[in-house]
Structure 1
Amino acid sequence: MTDSPAARLQKLFEGHRLTPTQRRIAHCMVRGAAEVPFLSSVELAELAGVSQPSVTRFAVALGFDGYPALRKYLREVAPAEPPRAPGQTEQNSYQQAVHAEIENLRHLAEMLADPGPAEEAGRLLAGSVPLPVLGLRAASSQARGFAYFAGKVHPDVRLLDEGGSMLPDRIDAAAGAGATALLCFALPRHPREVLDALEYARSTAGLTVVTVADSAFAPVARHSDLLIPAPVGTGLAFDTACAPMLLGRVLLEAMADALPGAQARLESFDAKAAARGLFVE
């Protein structure tokens, strides 16, 4: 399978120690991978919200003589635009958003060709009892969905989907009850409260933080022990998060594989649900 533009950019950035400003540029480039090879340094700076000299320093940090050399490289590795079929009309904005999301899923599939990180995450989550699952604002639905299904195979899942001064207390309570890891879903825009919570979970509560984020260069990266990226769609007024949701289900599968007795718990739930007439067949 041919790497997507976003996947090639991720590989380009791997192994480089980037400053927070440079990570912001990298994140911006990954989100706009198809357009970036055709942007000037000034346009990229405006898109990323940084200065033009920062873009130049970023290109040098990646090993290029300057931004023109980086852009030339990106144009050489960018795929040619597929020809439009005869009679095919230009896609409307809704179709473009759907196709962009399909590309995000392809990118996720390419990344999962190496199952190691997902399997490691599964072992960490399975070994933590209780298991706190954090997701605020835009990421709250991802955290809630994971916690709902995880509760069917994991003995003690604790959903943390509300911020405020009690969030550190709930992290402390989970750690005090035996938790060793925390799963975080982090999507843009990234609340400062999430960064504070992850820092607290690692430095004070001593938890290992596993994070699903929209990019390996997201602000939560420096507060995560294991971060697995899944891009979001940006073609509509509000971001779409099909890839992060699917990655969450993948981590559920990996966790269930690492949990002794997971299948027995599922069968027990199904038997009780049938006895209660819980679902309409």
Structure 2
Amino acid sequence: MNDAVLDLFRGVRLTPTQRRIAHSLVTHATAAAYLSAAEVAELAEVSQPSVTRFAMALGYDGYPALRRRLREIATAGNGTPAAAGPAGTEIQRAVRAEAANLRQLADQLADDQRVSTAGALLAASRPLPVLGLRAAAPLAAYFAYFAAKVLPDVRTLDSGGSLLMDRLDQAASAGASALLAFVLPRYPRETLDALREARDAGLAVVAITDSPVSPATDHAEVVLPAAVGTDLVFDLHTAPMALAMVLLQAICDAAPAETQRRLEAFEASAARRQLFLD
């Protein structure tokens, strides 16, 4: 169902406020089909007139017309409400929602052209800066740890402040041609500022983010969406983490000979230093 809701927004230039509304509708697709404009506004933390303008930006006369379309999607075209997920505890429902996010990601990857394009861009960058602030910092570190085994110079940018822009400029001066950015809710302002700085410095931006309508889409050449789980107190990032490893595979596939050479060198070094028990 989320894909059908996303189709409503494809090709439409949305303001940041409208992206917030779109993100809320995607995240709460089934429930949103039965909410009033005021309730959607509360969900997205925007004003009610913003919801009306959002519906009109999509080509509808107003929010009631958009809601009718959302209800059509929710009933899956057969006149009955979409089936609810299996019952269970709150934690079970959250884990099942993550499984659904992974299934959605797998469906998206049926066409892997965007991932292949992103992999080629990142494989060619020397050095490769990897940006992730606040909640996205662990994902940036996770990706960079493994990427460093197959790329000669991976630079993790996981802290903000004035030094962040310095490190971006230094990467560009050292020859970087691309930047990988993890952009996850609640979208730190510093992250978007850094993406603008990266573009100004001539870097191609690849963004792993939670939605095709996230703020990262305005600043990236390639956007790779993977939904986050929102059923617990803090977000679950299972799908973005899986997508990070899929992207690293694409980087390896873009330069297989160099990948093999560097992996063999690492294994020889690890054996010599007895890094692992096995």
Question: Smaller-chain TM-score range?
Answer: over 0.9
How far apart are 1:275 and its partner, in Å?
2.5
Quick check: 1:73 aligned with 2:73? no
**TM-score of the aligned structures, taking structure 2 as reference length:** 0.93
SS at 2:208 equivalent: strand
How far apart are 1:97 and its partner, in Å?
0.6
- Residue equivalent to 1:233: 229
Quick check: 1:42 aligned with 2:55? no
Decide which of 4, 8, 11 is 1:8's aligned counterpart: 4
How far apart are 1:98 and its partner, in Å?
0.5
Q: Between 271-280 and 100-109, report the one with greater CA deviation.
A: 271-280
How far apart are 1:24 and its partner, in Å?
1.4
Q: Between 92-101 and 211-220, report the one with greater CA deviation.
A: 211-220
The 8 Å contact of residues 5 and 73 in structure 2, kept in 1 or not, is answered as no
Alignment of 1:172-183 (within 5 A): 172-183=169-180
- Residue equivalent to 2:161: 164
Alignment of 1:1-281 (within 5 A): 5-78=1-74, 79=76, 80-82=81-83, 90-203=87-200, 205-259=201-255, 260-281=257-278
How far apart are 1:64 and its partner, in Å?
2.1
Question: Aligned-pair RMSD on alpha carbons?
Answer: 1.5
Separation of aligned partners in 2, 1:174 and 1:38: 49
Distance 1:23 1:83, change over 3 A: closer
How far apart are 1:83 and its partner, in Å?
7.1
Aligned residues: 272
How far apart are 1:220 and its partner, in Å?
2.4
Separation of aligned partners in 2, 1:129 and 1:9: 39
Separation of aligned partners in 2, 1:269 and 1:8: 45
Separation of aligned partners in 2, 1:186 and 1:242: 14
Separation of aligned partners in 1, 2:30 and 2:105: 16
Separation of aligned partners in 1, 2:157 and 2:171: 10
Separation of aligned partners in 2, 1:25 and 1:63: 15
Q: Which runs of 4+ in 1 moved over 3 A?
A: 79-84
Letter paired with 2:56: V
Letter paired with 1:136: L
Identity rate, percent: 57
Separation of aligned partners in 2, 1:131 and 1:152: 13
Letter paired with 1:45: A
Q: Between 11-20 and 242-251, report the one with greater CA deviation.
A: 11-20
Q: Between 160-169 and 67-76, report the one with greater CA deviation.
A: 67-76
How far apart are 1:113 and its partner, in Å?
1.5
Letter paired with 1:187: L
